[in-house]
Amino acid sequence: ADTCKHYPTSFEGVLLENAHLRSQPCLESEETDSKLLDTINVDSKVHVVSLIENTKGEYWYQIEGEKAGYIAAKQIRADAFFYDDVVLENASAPSALRQGKSFKIKGEILSGYNQLYTVRSQIFTLDNEEKVQVLATSDMVEDTRYSLNNSAISRELAFRDLTPGSYRYELAAVVGSYYYDFGQLQIRWETVALWNSDFRVTEKN
């Protein structure tokens, strides 16, 4: 399995035909170590947690749950994608700061099965009960984790330019989930809202 290429994904799939559940994604012949674990009937639902390409260019899905193993990707149709594995841990930000000061954001974005591609931050003014965007930035990730501590997100937002008033900070991530369809590798994009925090900017003196 070490020779396989792994693509992150997380979705509920439906069997298009009766399928063999095997112990290895890269080996299918009876002469190999890929053992036949079970047969899953057509129309059964399975939880897919990884898409794998072997050295022959064949695609396999790894499934978890009541039954775990590998099924040829051409035998499964992606049905409902999941993004609840993308979370923000240990988030913190000040509730107030003086004009001209920096805004320290802390926390770590983690993805268990999907791929983080972009982290997006926006700041809206809340004065007069009207929400208007005043600052925004994004940072490319292409990983399964992203630290907000001293990240490009906090530096490029230029909090020092904010005038006194009430604001809301919003954080989101663009997430990619791979799947196999019509003989091709595909990807489904989703924007996941992660966090928001209200704060005030006060006068310098």
Q: What pLDDT score does 72 carry?
A: 93
Which of 14-18, 50-54, 104-108, 154-158 is the least confident region?
Answer: 154-158
Percent of the chain at pLDDT exceeding 90 = 63
Q: What pLDDT score does 33 carry?
A: 63
- Summarize pLDDT for 14-71 with one digit per residue, the tens: 999 999 998 876 654 444 567 888 999 999 999 999 999 987 888 999 999 989 999 9
- Strand bridging mode 184-202 / 96-98: parallel
| Number of CB atoms found within 10 A of residue 102's CB | 13
Q: What pLDDT score does 107 carry?
A: 94
Q: What is the mean pLDDT of the chain?
A: 89
Q: Which residue has the higher pLDDT, 31 or 190?
A: 190
Which of 27-41, 70-84, 107-121, 177-191 is the least confident region?
Answer: 27-41
- Summarize pLDDT for 126-141 with one digit per residue, the tens: 877 778 999 999 999 9
Q: How confident is the model at residue 2 (pLDDT cuts 50, 70, 90)?
A: low
Q: What pLDDT score does 170 carry?
A: 95
Q: What pLDDT score does 164 carry?
A: 92
Q: 128 — alpha (psi -120 to 50), left (phi > 0) or beta?
A: left
E strand intervals along the chain: 5-15, 19-22, 36-40, 45-53, 59-64, 69-72, 76-81, 86-92, 96-98, 106-111, 115-125, 132-143, 145-147, 165-181, 184-202
Average confidence (pLDDT) over 114-137: 89
Q: What pLDDT score does 128 carry?
A: 72
Percent of the chain at pLDDT exceeding 70 = 94
What type of residue sits at position 199?
F
Q: What pLDDT score does 29 carry?
A: 46
